[in-house]
A and B are shown apart, each in its own frame.
Chain A
Amino acid sequence: MASHILRRLLATVPVVVIVAVLVFLLLRLTPGDPAAVIAGDHASAADIERIRASLGLDRPLLEQFFIWAGTLLQGDLGRSIISNMPISSLIAQRIEPTLSLAASTMLVSLLVSLPLGIAAAWGSRTWVDRFTMVLAILGFSLPVFLVAYTLIYFFSMKLGWFPVQGYRPLAQGVLPWLQGLALPTLSLSFTYIALLARTTRASMLDVLSEDYIRTAQAKGVRTRALLIRHAFSNAAVPVVTIAGIGITLLISGVVITETVFNIPGLGRLTVDAILSRDYPIIQALILLFSGVYVVINLLIDLLYLVLDPRIEY
């Protein structure tokens, strides 16, 4: 097991190197010039040139790459071209809202979707199943922003239960933190509930048709134990896979939710950096996200071992 983990971690090194080189080159080939963005609309070409030189963007591409790679190897993500802030600080400012939103969304999604999916599979072709399917179709069909605006209209504007926007750090108190997270979590969870409930239902239907389930039923195993201990533990592998992918997506790309609810997370940092061609931030974030993907995939693989002891690496 330990050697497997080590091998997997070592395998991330070439992945990260390839990602780093590709991202660096692709960004430089994309139209756009951070010096022009900094200088502003009214600056002259000469002003832009001077700023480009002061940022070192007029140097050969290879030289720029080695400067960046050198600082990266020293553990320094560099500074934002636009704000001149250390990128590590910018990420630190944004990581709490993103992690909070990702965690709350996953928690709500799992708490709702797993019982729903299991119940739908157990009561296949009954009203529970149909209700779950309708909910799943709605979850897939309704755009997140529509759900978000609807929730804002009812729960913020009409009832005044939750704020329209903004993130309150946990340090300001648990209640404000939960209040700020409630609506974004609900609107984002809708899609994940749909996805996970459908996956759980499909996976459970497969397992419930197995002979050993029938045998367990014949032996008088109680329904709850049958569903949870005997069926779900075997149906959980695909659910864990989908949940893992969901977590990585939540960390790297919930831009619409962050925008509608004005949550200063990593998604918005990424989009802002792309729009202003802030190369060092984009490079650092993509490296971070690729690292998150690798780690979460590794954790999922390890979880498979717990869920299904027959799996070997």
Chain B
Amino acid sequence: MKPLIRTLSLALAASLALAAAPASAAEQPKTIKAVMHAALTNLDPIQTTADIALLHGMMVYDTLFSWDENLVAQPQMVESYTLSDDKLTYTFTLREGLKWHDGQPVKAEDCVASIQRWWVRDTLGQRIAALATDISVVDDRSFRLVLKAPFGYLLDALAKTGSNFPAMMPKRLAQTNPSEQIREAVGSGPFKFVREEWVPGSKTVYVKNKDYVPRNEPPSGTAGGKIAKADRVEWIVMPDQQTAQAALMNGEIDFIETPQADFIPMLRDTQGVKVETTATFGIQGILRMNHLQPPFDNAKARQGMLALVNQETYLRSIIGNPEFYQVCDSIFVCGSPLQTRSKVSYPDDKARVEAAKRLFKEAGYQGEPIVILNPTDSALSNAAALVTAQLMREAGLNVDVQSMDWASVVARRPNKGKPSEGGWNIFISNQSGMTASNPLTNLGLAATCEKAWFGWPCDEKIEALRNDFATAATLEERRKIAQALQDRADESVPYISFGQWVQPVAYRSDRLSGILKLPNSFAFWNIAVK
């Protein structure tokens, strides 16, 4: 018996030692362990507009064009393209040697199918679809797109990095109904998705795509060579920020995409950890009113809300550290090529409140409850909703803050009915600065009545200006139209920006190097792991 026990003990000790022994450095893949802002639960960047699906898309899929750091669309999968003299016919030729992650070659027919799927869902894509008279394959590497009118924003649309972004995928997947989720994540991007290791809500794993052929140009924005320097990237979901921060300080993870503002000073004081802003355009806060229901069916009441919104008050409450926010009266965000100036300004909060009282009175406001949807599980939206409610109370408005979770907000906001019958008056959201920076993509600006984003603003002048913008050929023309849109938005108030902020990332600078600065997102290519 004793020899048996001894043998078993030795075997157990050996197995424990084996388990504890680290593999040699040469054997271990260079892995980036990253905590992202949300769990990846949907693999389809066309079906969903969720930001995390966009980031997943940027890992797995490639695009025909990409924006460089100056926001100029540069060829990515495309080797060359031609545009006819009448500016109606584009012919695109793909680079040689591109392969899907399943080993099949990338063909023009795949790209045609991908564009056709994308343009059903995306706002810019829908404009292209409405203008397109033909999209057809020329040969294995070339395809043609014919428009009935020039669209100066076409290449920029194909380079888009906001949701929904024009991800290229094999034809067999691109033929999936755009409202249904694709069953596989097969792209031609620098990283491959490892389905076997995917635990939705917990972990997502990518490995380097060894067949990827990067461009020769140096990386710039999302353009240029996308060189995957890490062998493996793990996205780990950590719902508790305190744990994520401790794990980064302890060296268990390498990167946090959205560290909480409270923890930033502590992270900065930790040796080997760096806090840095990489998404230069940041985020714009949106206060959206329901244009179909009183009092905000009247422009005077919306102007009254615009008067009340002191961005500094919001940003101090939501972000806290002035290093990461800026007061910006441009609906196309500050720092963008189309930055505008608003003519609406007030000397102080007292003047704001007085103006709001006057404007609400002119709107015929009778003290009916104004319902604010407050998603308490979103720290940012919750804070903004509470600030809004307090500012409105100071102006003597009757506010009904209805607290719920985010899923309930998104289910309730399509309701166009009266607030007393399940409708609403105000909800809080945000959009990336990149999305806001363009009149065609700015979520809150579209004023297409019933077809517009929840809140349903209806303004022919705004729509006419947006259409002019779509055909404007030069930056100068675009800037003029953007200012005209700003002036009109000051009167019509389709939505209110409550400020602009950037979200820094935190990472182990003793492990990672080469993090790129992008306008509105984050990329894992070009990052070297020590």
Contact = CB atoms under 8 A, between A and B. Distances in A.
7 contacts: A32-B410, A43-B48, A45-B454, A82-B42, A84-B181, A164-B250, A174-B16
B20 A54 contact: no
B238 A165 contact: yes
A186 interface: no
Interface in A28-76: 31-33, 36-48, 50-51, 53-54
Contacts of A262: 236-240, 243, 247
Given A259-B239, A277-B407, A41 B201 contact: no
B19 A156 contact: no
A165 B247 contact: yes
A54 B42 CA distance: 15
B239 A48 contact: no
Contact of B47 (A36, A38, A264): A38
A184 to B, nearest CB: 11
Contact of B246 (A46, A152, A272): A152
B203 interface: yes
Contacts of B406: 275
B163 interface: yes
A275 B411 CA distance: 12
Given A46-B451, A152-B246, A163-B252, A40 B239 contact: no
Given A50-B179, A80-B200, A176-B19, A40 B240 contact: no
Contacts of B15: 173-174
Contacts of A50: 178-179
Contacts of B249: 157
B240 A259 contact: yes
Interface residues of B, number: 59
Interface size range on A against B: 35 or more
B201 A264 contact: yes
Contact of B49 (A32, A39, A157, A277): A39
B309 interface: no
A116 B181 CA distance: 55
Nearest to B15: A174
Contacts of A152: 243, 246
A260 interface: yes
B530 interface: no
A269 B454 CA distance: 30
B429 interface: yes
B414 interface: yes
Contacts of B175: none
A188 B104 CA distance: 50
Contact of A268 (B51, B178, B180, B201): B201
Interface string B41-81: 11100011111010000000000000000000000000000
A31 B443 CA distance: 25
Interface of B: 12, 15-16, 18-20, 39, 41-43, 47-51, 53, 121, 163, 177-181, 183, 199-203, 236-240, 242-243, 246-247, 249-250, 252, 377, 404-408, 410-412, 414, 429, 431, 435, 443, 451-454
Contacts of B407: 31-33, 36-37, 275-277
Given A38-B48, A39-B49, A54-B177, A32 B408 contact: yes
Nearest to B199: A93
Contacts of A85: 200
A42 B243 contact: no
B284 to A, nearest CB: 13
Given A44-B451, A48-B414, A173-B15, A164 B41 contact: no
A90 interface: yes
A36 B410 contact: yes
B19 A42 contact: no
Contact of A31 (B48, B49, B408, B435): B408
B377 A275 contact: yes
Contact of A172 (B19, B238, B414): B19
Interface in A262-290: 262, 264, 268-269, 272, 275-277
Most buried by A among B18, B202, B238, B408: B202
B405 to A, nearest CB: 6
Nearest to B286: A41
Contact of B16 (A32, A33, A38, A173): A173
A160 B247 CA distance: 11
Contacts of B201: 264, 268-269, 272
Contact of B39 (A32, A53, A272): A272
A45 B414 contact: yes
Contacts of A42: 49, 163, 431, 435, 443, 453
A1 interface: no
A26 interface: no
Contact of A47 (B121, B177, B239, B405): B121
Top 3 nearest A-B pairs by Cβ distance?
Answer: A173-B19, A40-B49, A264-B202
Contacts of B238: 165, 262
A175 interface: yes
B179 A40 contact: no
A261 interface: yes
B177 A83 contact: no
A286 B179 CA distance: 29
A244 interface: no
A73 B469 CA distance: 57
B163 A175 contact: no
Contacts of B20: 173, 175-176
A173 B22 CA distance: 12
Interface string A91-132: 001100000000000000000000000000000000000000
